[in-house]
A and B are shown apart, each in its own frame.
Chain A
Amino acid sequence: MTRLTGGLIDRSQSLSFTFDGTRYTGHPGDTLASALLANGVRLVGRSFKYHRPRGIVAAGSEEPNAMVTLREGARAEPNTRATMAELFDGLSARSQNHVGPLSFDMLAVNDLLSPFFAAGFYYKTFMWPRAFWEKLYEPAIRRAAGLGALSEQADPDAYDRGFLHCDLLIIGAGAAGLTAALTAGRAGARVVLADEDFRLGGRLMAESDLLDHAPATQWIASVEAELRALPNVRILPRTTVFGAYDHGIYGAVERVADHLPTPGTLVRQTLWRITAKRAVLAAGATERHIPFADNDRPGVMLAGAMRAYANRWATAPGTKGPVAIFTNNDDGHRTAVDLMAKGVPIAAVIDARARSEAQGDYRVIAGGMVTGTRGRLGLRSIAVQHSGGSESLSVGALGVSGGWNPNVHLASHHRGRPVWDEARLAFLPGQGGPGGLIAAGACAGQGSTVDALADGHRAAVQALADLGLTAPALALPHAHPRAENTAPIWHVPGKRRAWVDFQNDVTVKDIALAHQENMRPVEHLKRWTTLGMATDQGKTANVTALAVMAELTGKSIPQTGTTIFRPPYTGVSLGVLGGGDTGTNFRPRRLTPTHTWAKAQGAVFVEVGPWMRAQYFVRPGETYWRQSVDREVLAVRSGVGLCDVTTLGKIDVQGADAGLFLDRVYANAMASLKVGMVRYGLMLREDGTLYDDGTCARLAEDHYVVTTTTANAGPVYAQMEFARQCLWPDLDVQLISTTDAWAQIAVAGPKARALLERVVDGFDLSNEAFPFMACAPLTVCGGTRARLFRISFSGELAYELAVPARYGNALMARLMELGADLGATPYGTEALGVMRIEKGHAAGAELTGQTTAQMLGLGKMVSKKKDAIGAVMSRRGGLGDDSRRLVGLVPLDASHTVTPGAHLFTAGAHPSMDSDQGWVTSAAYSPHVGSSIGLAFLERGDERMGEVITAANPLQGQSVAVKVVSAHFVDPEGGRLRA
């Protein structure tokens, strides 16, 4: 391993890691990329389309080439940039996208076939025959072109989500970000300072320039110490602010544990939602390269990255020969000077500008161009053309500097349009963009250290002034002024392929082809060539591509277009976006008050919306669900059963106008209901279709309690609040949802009264005192507050008893205990469903949003004497004329099954859309009838009792002869209810 002097690595510790199975060592402070370079590894992967050998190009998050699969097993993470992976002991990484060893990729044949693989090739070639695309072409192309593969195992790590609020969010902790943070922190503003790097300092760490005549790290350390001591400043290293959203909300991912072998007790990553009154974008700049023939060979890097590897990571870029620099600006010379200071030999600085002077003791080739490279798996020599002719230079590495692109990404979210600055040859943040976002430093075109330090301070002062805060004066450290003097030289003309976008293998030729095919607008160019559409979003490619297209069209760069970026700034894992909302944590689960009791009784639970409800209770010896359900149904019909019905929505309605209000939200009359009585209620949507049903109990003149279906508890409440606040705000009425406040237990069956008599405190349950549809407040079990409703869903003598939710579990246990000799049996939703079908009661399967009151045979319930939501529209032609009616169905052959969803046809008719007569809404096996039964909507169903029709289920090839009967299979006269 070869290391230069200095650098921000801890040489006292060694870290062992593997790349493609070979063991190497690095130090704390290294990234995988810096450690690989320090170990002389240049070849790190194969390119996307042509499988060309590729090496590390950059030193930051813009890296297009060095994509590796990090870690093993379930934690294997493909497409990780080696430049962003912090080295830890035991790290293992693998290269991607090759068949066979990395050094001899079988698919490199694609490179020889490159004339066929130019832009648009797939669009044109694989058009025909059409059927081949899905089966043959696409799978083959996908195998050949690509990135890493997923582990296809469950993610073993935890993720979290958090919320932060601040006065000022500072994105980037380089020179500008640090002076901004210091300014705002000292002013007392609440500051969040986020940086994607694991150390603060940004580009300052990559430079050799002094600050206040001392290494910049000293100034960074003093600023960091002061910021950490300020209680109003929060520093988030390893945190990428990836997007700007509405009203000052920013998305950020903190890589909490990605630098550790395993997260241990930590979450792996946290998704932060940061609400900031103002933000300073100090995201720096990304160096661009200059395309020339075969410029993608391992060993060709960005010159600024080379400088960063030397200064920060003490890594020499080339061990196989001297280093050359190809530049069109002064910054390239700076790399040469820094490398020489570290003892790295410089072959030459090839400066594309006609006038150029050496900044040190090295050869300058002014007006020169690099026209080609050699070296199968890594750079060996470059061809240079200059005024004196051409020559070949033996080099181990080549640094390329084509000027710097400000990182305008976040400023171009929210339709912010970057503007071209001809003096700087760069796009700068323009008008529009996220409100309250101020760009500062290199990303605002103020890239020199002197300018960036001052600009960060300026931006913070501006933001603080907006917030009404005064910024104290800040003494900026002394820095060396520098200029870039970039010349508009965008690529080296030539016949061979010169790469613009390394990650998606797009060359200058491809752009020329796009021009030739008239794909000239930037958005067409992008889609035709896939330029900038790789995971790096073309950070090192887009502006150069635009310049090449401008040259081809003879227009200026701003006339050609601009390049805007969408979130995310860098890739965000789906795992962290989920933020831990997986499996049972996907959404909250609501448990009924009797849940623990039911669990102990062997209940099998079913999800009903957010609720977990007991579906049926398995008794010893029962091996099939129907055994349990049939037993429960029969127990209710012959004795007494208990069911937790808490999940039905309950809304408490109070006020002098409560009755009038309910008259308007229910289709039937409610104001006329007597105190102490309950009425079934139908609620319509304003378009006239059925919305929901439930019961409405009047506890006092000005006090009702209404119920909704379980599924609609939330929506009906919201709708009633809408009616109260928006439609009839002049009514004296108040609403509150009490679904969670009261536990409600259905006590059903001929022995229900006998059981209830054992818990009520001296309350007269006789038929005369408490008839069918009565309700009353009372106490039970020696003083517990309760409400009793004599209502029935099962068709039996039945009550619903409500107690404060905390007593629900105890009440259920007490009823079971006291009812043991009566055969008290708990029943679940399955038995509940069977009994309501036997009784012909509508539920969710009948109230689909496409059915009407008439269809249920309840058309007369829609009062014509008053205005109510949906009443007028329910009478319009299309709905009023619908002749389908709710009927019951039994199979002619009792061994046959009625299937929900089956469609109905006149016996003998050919089943088609035209001959369709209706459909089966609900079906169940009825222990009472002794066969399968169904509920259905049938054309003129009320006139067709006794007719035999066909229920067809073509999906499963079923066709069953069924007889039309009344929907009331049990006790059609209602005698049991009133017993």
Chain B
Amino acid sequence: MLIPHPLLGLRDAQEFTYLGDASLIDRPEGSDEAALADYVYLRDNPAGLHRELWFHEQGDRSWLVVTRNTLTHEIVSAELARDVALARKEGVA
């Protein structure tokens, strides 16, 4: 697989490690145990487009949010997770 790194262009997937669902970016603030339990344990497993976190461990060490079709492995987009997270925070604020 090839991942279109937003800064470095097409990179081989072997340079990355995979974490999973990009919803991990939305960590609940505060001490709501139930919200954290959902955050820690519950994931969607969609057949189709899936936003997920990849770490460019053998590269520039950036975390990416990659949108991948789980049926075809087509990669629709890759964004810096930091940009995604900052945009979310601005949206919340």
Contact = CB atoms under 8 A, between A and B. Distances in A.
B63 A247 contact: no
A248 B30 contact: no
B29 A726 contact: no
Interface stretch (A100-108, A208-216, A609-617, A717-725): A717-725
B42 interface: no
B70 interface: no
A740 interface: no
B24 interface: yes
A699 B74 CA distance: 47
Interface footprint category on B: 35 or more
Interface in A675-709: 686-687
A727 B63 contact: no
Interface string B21-33: 0001101011111
Given A721-B63, A722-B55, A876-B33, A249 B39 contact: no
A730 B17 CA distance: 24
A873 B33 contact: yes
B38 to A, nearest CB: 11
A625 B9 CA distance: 53
Interface in B31-74: 31-33, 36-37, 39-41, 53, 55, 57, 61-63, 72-74
B57 A725 contact: no
B1 interface: yes
Interface string A421-445: 0000000000000010000000000
B86 interface: yes
B55 A721 contact: yes
Interface string A328-366: 000000000000000000000000000000000000000
A535 to B, nearest CB: 28
Contacts, number: 70
Which of A725, A727, A872, A876 counts the most B-chain CB atoms under 10 A from its CB? A725
For the complex of A and B, list the 10 residue pairs with the smallest distance between their C-beta atoms, beginning with the closest: A247-B2, A725-B82, A246-B1, A729-B85, A246-B73, A729-B82, A725-B63, A726-B81, A726-B25, A729-B86
Interface of A: 245-249, 275, 414, 435, 686-687, 714, 718, 721-722, 725-727, 729-730, 867, 872-873, 875-876
Nearest to A248: B2
A727 B27 contact: yes
A730 B89 contact: yes
A718 B85 contact: no
A484 B37 CA distance: 68
Contacts of B80: 725
Contacts of A729: 82, 85-86, 89
Nearest to B64: A725
B30 A867 contact: yes
A873 B40 contact: yes
B19 interface: yes
Nearest to A728: B85
A726 B24 contact: yes
A34 to B, nearest CB: 41
Contacts of A718: 17, 55, 57
A706 to B, nearest CB: 16
A726 B88 CA distance: 10
Contact of A247 (B30, B36, B75): B75
Given A718-B57, A725-B63, A726-B63, A249 B2 contact: yes
Contacts of A876: 33, 37
A495 B92 CA distance: 78
Contacts of B32: 872
Contacts of A872: 31-33, 36
A726 B2 contact: no
A245 B86 CA distance: 35
Contacts of A686: 27, 36, 39-40
Nearest to B88: A729
A434 to B, nearest CB: 11
A655 to B, nearest CB: 14
Contacts of B84: 726
A730 B61 contact: no
Contacts of B86: 729-730
A875 B36 CA distance: 12
B60 to A, nearest CB: 11
Contacts of B73: 246-247
A726 B40 contact: no
A522 to B, nearest CB: 23
B49 to A, nearest CB: 16
A275 B89 contact: no
A867 B84 CA distance: 22
A875 B31 CA distance: 10
B5 to A, nearest CB: 13
B56 to A, nearest CB: 10
Nearest to B29: A867
A721 B53 CA distance: 12
Given A687-B41, A721-B61, A867-B30, 4 more contacts: A247-B75, A718-B57, A722-B53, A726-B63
Nearest to B25: A726
A649 to B, nearest CB: 14
A687 B39 CA distance: 10
A718 B18 CA distance: 11
Nearest to B4: A247
A755 to B, nearest CB: 38
Nearest to B63: A725
Contacts of B89: 729-730
A873 B53 CA distance: 23
Which of B1, B30, B40, B84 counts the most A-chain CB atoms under 10 A from its CB? B40
A873 B81 CA distance: 25
B24 to A, nearest CB: 7
A247 B78 CA distance: 15
Contacts of B61: 721
B32 to A, nearest CB: 8
19 contacts: A246-B2, A248-B2, A249-B2, A714-B57, A718-B55, A721-B63, A725-B81, A725-B85, A726-B24, A726-B53, A726-B85, A727-B27, A729-B86, A729-B89, A867-B30, A867-B31, A873-B36, A873-B40, A876-B33
A18 B89 CA distance: 76
A462 B30 CA distance: 58
Contacts of A726: 24-25, 53, 63, 81-82, 84-85
A732 to B, nearest CB: 13
A872 B19 CA distance: 22
A722 B72 CA distance: 27
Nearest to A730: B89
Nearest to B74: A435
Contacts of A714: 57
Contacts of A721: 55, 61, 63
Given A246-B73, A725-B85, A726-B63, A275 B2 contact: yes
A717 to B, nearest CB: 8
A725 B2 contact: no
Contacts of B75: 247
B1 A727 contact: no
A726 B19 CA distance: 12
A247 B13 CA distance: 10
A517 B78 CA distance: 51
Contacts of A247: 1-2, 73, 75
Which of A726, A872, A876 counts the most B-chain CB atoms under 10 A from its CB? A726
B37 A722 contact: no
Contacts of A725: 62-63, 80-82, 85
A275 B73 CA distance: 16
Contacts of A248: 2
Nearest to A245: B1
Contacts of B81: 725-726
B7 to A, nearest CB: 13
A722 B19 contact: yes
B84 to A, nearest CB: 8
Contacts of B72: 414
A652 to B, nearest CB: 13
Contacts of B63: 721-722, 725-726
Contacts of A873: 33, 36-37, 40
